[in-house]
Amino acid sequence: MTDGDKPPTTRTPHRPERSTVHVELVSNEEGRITLVGEIDHGVAPQLDDALDRLLAEGADRFVVDFARLSFFDSACISALVRAHARVTENGGTVKLVNVDQYAYRVLQIAGLLPLFDLEPDT
């Protein structure tokens, strides 16, 4: 069999991780929100829903994990700003963790670094 006779190679297309927002109440006071994949205008409302759920469960400290985030747009930024406003008006805190250099730069350009406690990507 020559190369011309070989059946075409089938490749499994790369499937990015499903874009979503994971939420968990870590303790009575702390909620963790993990952003996964691309958080854009279609997914950002999940961030608002996650915040609502954690606030209803009594959390006042929030950790937003960027480790599995591959992209975010202005809708995600807006949701983060809303989260900050809602949480801090009641004396709570929002901390962004595993923030890579690109996400850091976007937050810096948007002027949002002063709003959040940040922990760099590990």
Banded pLDDT at 122 (limits 50, 70, 90):
low
Residue 10 lies in a domain: no
Residue 96 lies in a domain: yes
Residue 45 lies in a domain: yes
Residue 9 lies in a domain: no
Q: Which domain holds residue 92?
A: 17-114
For the chain, the domain total comes to 1
Residue 4 lies in a domain: no
The CATH code of the domain that includes 64 is 3.30.750.24
22 — phi, psi (to 5°)? -95, 140
Note the pLDDT tens digit of each residue in 11-63.
444 445 689 999 999 998 999 999 999 999 999 999 999 999 999 999 999 99
Note the pLDDT tens digit of each residue in 53-95.
999 999 999 999 999 999 999 999 999 999 999 999 989 999 9
Rounded to whole angstroms, how far apart are CA atoms 116 and 120? Answer: 12
Residue 119 lies in a domain: no
Residue 41 lies in a domain: yes
> Looking at residue 16, what is its pLDDT?
53
Residue 7 lies in a domain: no
